[in-house]
Structure 1
């Protein structure tokens, strides 16, 4: 390849696979045309509503210094995306490329290659960052929270960012966590959304035990450890129910279980006979369970939980008990059985 061709290829940012995304995402008006513009950094402002926050790992001092070093040596190979600032004619707001913009400033560059794309919104920013895995769980939750505050439904948010309703529901949980769970999440001790959701379920049934478990700073918060915790708490509760002390005093009657049983035996004849149970109609289900298959995993419809939109339903997996909302179009009906 000639030096001239190499220079053209380099100018288009084709020397690395990662740089192709900038061309593929370029607005139609610039693809195959004159190419990006060289805009003065002093004319560009960051979007105050961009989904990534200041504590995002990509905005750390070390990360930006590393990026600035490559920009000093090689320049910015993938153009950023900007839109015209409607409030300040002649200025631009960043759609995507805040790290390259900041790195260029640290590298003391005066201009940066940029495409102008005025058809760009916050959902587009979220989508692009999600595809690059550059958003933290908190940033995703905050975006979903802003959309919900506008009256946008969960199903609509899921469609807008190309994620499942279960993904949205799991992140909604992060917006209103119990205090001990919020502390663990905000401190960065746990970042896995699935782990947080499982802890929320455990905390609802056993708040004191979960708080005590979290108080151990050496305790690893992983999917495996939380699953073991929930299994332990379930077994403990079953064991306590099976071995209730007959001498335990009831707070309402003031009697122990044993005394209450004796009183019932002494009443004898005064106690009305128990009604014979009605014969079960063989053609009717006492408690219907609808078994389904989703993503090749068996589960059951949660008929007592209201979905967020028509055509959706809550499902509980049989293997790990995970609860989520799914489009019924992605669910296969397997069986209807009696759960009585």
Structure 2
């Protein structure tokens, strides 16, 4: 009998077993993946933007603040620098084979188009119902203003400038400045903000400006718990506090580009020629002159004013303030249509 046939059955089984550590040789490790993870991996695609359409039944209307051109530009700026970090969700378009409809991510989609991208990361999810979009929008609360202020403080402590933070986040410098102010509020304003009496960051900054000039008056005004803090009431407060105060000699004339002090030095003001010893005599007001010009423009249907005291980030841009919401933003001058020149 041969040596092979002399081996016992169990010995033969042992000798045919190949070395492989824990015995995993030849095993397909992909089989250990969770079915859900594998499905998600296969559903993630890099899709051509031209193959994607927005949902015609998108629950957010076209005039939603999140769809405003300046907001899409902010998103587009970050996408241009960093790409889309969170894939959008799409479903197959039953009416156009090979095309898709957006479930969630319309702003990232628009931002990618603004950034002139050709593709976007997307997860194909055909298990979709209309309420999915509503739930996503309602639950997307994001950071609170205090959290944003704390993050800005952390970035600045690490050496970043406000302009760098604004660029990194795709926000305007005004956005960063207004939120950073929350880190150093006077106690009376901080208490009103923390208690929920003030929810608008713009109002916080308006009150902060007023407080710097008239701290006690602002404190007394805020001490009245029955006082509603709205855009209208804060505007009236500032007008009341500014009433009777002298015009700032550093105010720039919109027409000749000189301050009031410079106009006085040029002799436009008020002394009789050749008699420097006399006091200045008031001149009759010229009804054709505007002391403080406000340039009102229309941008995307909204009435705004040109902010002449803020330096834009580059030539061709300017800062504007929405006359209704009070929001300050930077935009291309070509998008602004001048509608009025009024006296402030």
Q: TM-score range by the shorter chain?
A: 0.3 to 0.5
Name the larger-Rg structure.
Answer: 2
TM-score, with length taken from structure 1:
0.41
TM-score, with length taken from structure 2:
0.40
Q: Which has the higher contact order (CA 8 A, sep 6+)?
A: 1
